[in-house]
Amino acid sequence: MSSAIISQVEMKVFEADFIAMVVEASERDQEWTARKRELKKLENEGKEFPKNWTNKDELLYYKNQLYIPNDEGL
């Protein structure tokens, strides 16, 4: 029997209200929407995303951190 080391992965869970606020704010942030369009274009062309960027559930993540739109309320 061999021993194995298992890393614990920290899962971040956000409340639905906060996610709704992020989605709403993202629609007003031109930089955020431009980044999303750029990533969507790469995805549609079958190309890889730039390093550290992901798009999950229509939200953007940079280095596994939710990419927050520029909004004073957030």
Query: Which residue's entry shows tokens 């929407």?
Result: 33
The arithmetic mean of pLDDT across residues 58-69, rounded, is: 92
Share of the chain above pLDDT 90, in %: 61
Residue 23 maps to a domain: yes
Provide the domain count of the chain.
1
Residue 8 maps to a domain: no
| Closest by Cα among 2, 18, 4, 12 to 65 | 12
Residue 6 maps to a domain: no
**Where in the sequence is the domain holding 36, given as residue range(s)?**
16-66
Q: What is the pLDDT of residue 2?
A: 47
Residue 3 maps to a domain: no
CA distances from 20 to 1, 17, 26, 34, 51 (A): 48, 5, 10, 19, 26
Burial track 40-56 (b if 16+ CB lie within 10 A, e otherwise)? eeeeeeeeeeeeebebe
- Banded pLDDT at 4 (limits 50, 70, 90): low
Residue 57 maps to a domain: yes
Residue 5 maps to a domain: no
